[in-house]
Structure formats: structure tokens, C-alpha cells
């Protein structure tokens, strides 16, 4: 059993600000740091920290040695990451005193993936494996179709929300992950609730309000674990990676959702993205304390 993740890899540039900037406003940042990010890389790191075998599929620029080292240091296997002539993707992230964020994303090398890389990366996958996908790379639907034909379970985060991308990948999905804003965007784009999408399993995260799990028209509400937010950046990716790890481990959906919720609860109390993700022992301890 293994997790394959076709996902973005970014350098994250963090600026702590007193409030999110308004149009035309110039702000002095209180602090600045650089970290590993990208929805794909974040999810791979989370799943690896949860103890699973994770193969990342992606692309970076030639200036990315430190990024690959951080991925490998978290336990992510990087044999399917190619080096592009384009610059590594990056994000500029503003975080205010309430932990809310605003992000500007440059995709860079994430949009330069080649079909042969995707094909080679999933050659060894099979029915016991998972594929994670998001919307920050090229060839998402192509990879989903190949994996689904091999019996691989496909888990897709509909973020950043793009109705055309979602429409192209939806026939191959086993699990659709969205936050409550993306669920509203789905309804606006397709004229129906996301739980009526036809995807077998739909998971909607709602921050401190918890998580909705939809299956066959039935909903299960899973409570969030209370946390004092310091920085919410990457919390959804932390949830997704730990959730996928739980499914890969053989957990039922509700238990895997609880695992992801506990990991995200720890993460929002820390600054940063994947560098701030908890290790499995921390997550297990939090779950035990809340039983």
C-alpha cells in the first residue's frame, strides 16, 4: 500500500502583518520567513509524517535543492520529481494577527509536467494504492484516468476551485475533498449540492464547525478539535494528507477524518505550512486526550 501524489511544490514566502492589506495599501511586515509549500508538497509531507509510503510526482526549477532536501527529510520519496527550465513555483503569503491569510501564487514549474513522467510514476501502482490530486499542476485529469484504470483509489482536493478542472477529473474520483467555500462554489458552478455530484465519498471541511462526510446520500458530522488559531495556512492540506494516510492505513472514513481533524487542529496553532505539520505521535496523543 502506497500513496502517489501528483502535486504542486512551492517555496512559501511568509509575511506576518497587523492586518491583511487593502487595495493600494502599503504595510510593514512584522516578520518574514521562507518555507516549503504548495498544496501537493504539503499533502505529501503530512501523509509521510503520518507514517505512510509517499511517492511525490511533480516538477521544480534548478534552484530547488533545499526543497528536495526538505521533502526527503520528511520521508517523501522524490524519484518522480523532474527538474524544469522554469522557476520553482512560489507563493507570497500574508498572515494577520488573527491567523487569517491572503495568498498570491505563481505556478512556475508546476505547470510544466510531461506525460511520460506521469505515466512512469504510476507504473507500479495498483488496487491497494491511493492517488492524491489538487488543482495546482498540469495533467491532473490525465493522471486520474490512468490511475483509475489500474484500480487506484483517487482522492481529489478541489482547490484552488476550478469548475472546468473538476468537471474533467470528476468521473475518475473515489473521494472529493472541499472546504465550505469550495462547496458553495461547486453549487454556483453546477447548480446542485456537491453531495449530489455522483462521487462516492464527499468530505467538506468547515473549520472550527467540523467536517461533513457524505456517502450514498447520508451525512456524518465529525466534530473539530478546538484550537486557538495562530496561522491557518496549509491546515486543509494537513487534513488531506493525514486523512489519506488513514484511508491507506485501512481506517474507515470517519476514523480517517478524525485523524485528519486532529492533525489540522495542531497545525493551526503553529506558524508556517508543511514545516509546522505535526508528527504522528503528536496526533495520536491529541486523539487519545479527546476520547
Q: pLDDT at residue 129 above 90? A: yes
User: DSSP character for 269?
Assistant: T
> Quick check: 150 and 130 in contact, CB under 8 A?
no
pLDDT at position 271, please? Answer: 86
Q: Is 237 a catalytic residue?
A: yes
Catalytic residue among 12, 129, 231, 237: 237
User: Where residue 124 falls among pLDDT bands split at 50, 70, 90?
Assistant: confident
pLDDT at position 126, please? Answer: 86
Give, in order, the Cα–Cα distances in Å from 214 to each of 76, 222, 284.
30, 11, 25
pTM score:
0.92
pLDDT in tens, 139-176: 999 999 999 999 999 999 999 999 999 999 999 999 99
User: Where residue 100 falls among pLDDT bands split at 50, 70, 90?
Assistant: confident
**How does the average pLDDT of the chain come out, rounded?**
95
* Local structure of 234: helix, strand or coil: coil
Closest CA to 7 of 164, 144, 133, 186: 133
Rounded Cα gap, residues 205 and 214, in angstroms: 11
> Quick check: 274 and 74 in contact, CB under 8 A?
yes
Q: Highest mean pLDDT range out of 92-96, 98-102, 250-254? A: 250-254
> Quick check: 39 and 8 in contact, CB under 8 A?
yes
Handedness of CA 116, 117, 120, 126 (dihedral sign): negative
DSSP string, 34-83: EEEE-HHHHHHHHHHHTT--EEEEEEEETT-HHHHHHHHHTT-EEEEEEE
pLDDT in tens, 198-212: 999 999 999 999 999
> Quick check: 78 and 272 in contact, CB under 8 A?
no
> Quick check: 213 and 254 in contact, CB under 8 A?
yes
Sheet holding 175-179, edge to edge: 77-84, 54-61, 3-6, 130-133, 153-157, 175-179, 201-205, 211-215, 218-222
How many residues in total does the chain contain? 291
Amino acid at each position: 500500500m502506497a500513496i502517489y501524489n501528483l502535486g504542486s511544490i512551492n517555496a512559501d514566502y511568509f509575511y506576518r502583518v497587523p492586518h491583511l492589506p487593502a487595495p493600494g495599501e502599503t504595510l510593514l511586515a512584522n516578520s518574514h520567513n521562507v518555507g516549503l509549500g504548495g498544496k501537493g508538497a504539503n499533502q505529501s509531507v503530512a501523509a509521510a509524517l503520518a507514517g505512510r509510503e509517499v511517492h511525490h510526482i511533480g516538477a521544480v526549477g534548478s534552484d530547488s535543492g533545499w526543497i528536495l532536501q526538505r521533502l526527503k527529510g520528511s520521508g517523501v520519496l522524490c524519484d518522480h520529481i523532474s527538474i524544469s527550465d522554469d522557476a520553482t513555483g512560489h507563493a507570497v503569503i500574508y498572515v494577520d494577527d488573527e491567523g487569517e491569510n491572503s495568498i498570491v501564487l505563481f505556478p512556475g514549474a508546476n505547470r510544466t509536467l510531461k506525460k511520460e513522467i506521469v505515466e512512469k510514476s504510476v507504473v507500479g501502482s495498483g488496487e491497494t494504492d491511493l492517488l492524491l490530486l489538487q488543482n495546482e499542476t498540469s495533467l491532473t485529469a490525465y493522471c486520474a484516468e490512468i490511475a483509475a484504470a489500474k484500480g487506484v483509489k483517487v482522492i481529489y482536493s478541489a482547490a484552488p476551485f476550478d469548475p472546468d478542472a473538476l468537471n474533467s477529473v470528476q468521473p475518475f474520483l473515489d473521494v472529493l475533498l472541499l472546504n465550505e467555500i469550495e462547496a458553495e462554489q461547486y453549487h454556483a458552478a453546477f447548480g446542485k449540492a456537491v453531495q449530489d455530484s455522483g462521487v462516492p465519498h464527499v468530505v467538506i471541511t468547515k473549520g472550527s464547525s467540523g467536517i461533513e462526510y457524505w456517502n450514498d446520500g447520508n451525512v456524518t458530522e465529525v466534530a473539530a478539535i478546538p484550537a486557538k488559531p495562530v496561522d491557518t495556512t496549509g491546515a486543509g492540506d494537513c487534513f488531506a494528507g493525514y486523512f489519506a494516510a488513514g484511508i491507506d492505513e485501512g481506517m474507515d472514513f470517519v476514523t480517517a477524518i478524525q485523524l485528519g481533524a486532529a492533525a489540522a487542529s495542531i497545525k493551526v496553532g503553529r506558524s508556517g505550512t508543511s514545516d509546522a505539520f505535526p508528527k504522528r505521535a503528536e496526533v495520536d496523543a491529541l486523539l487519545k486526550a479527546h476520547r
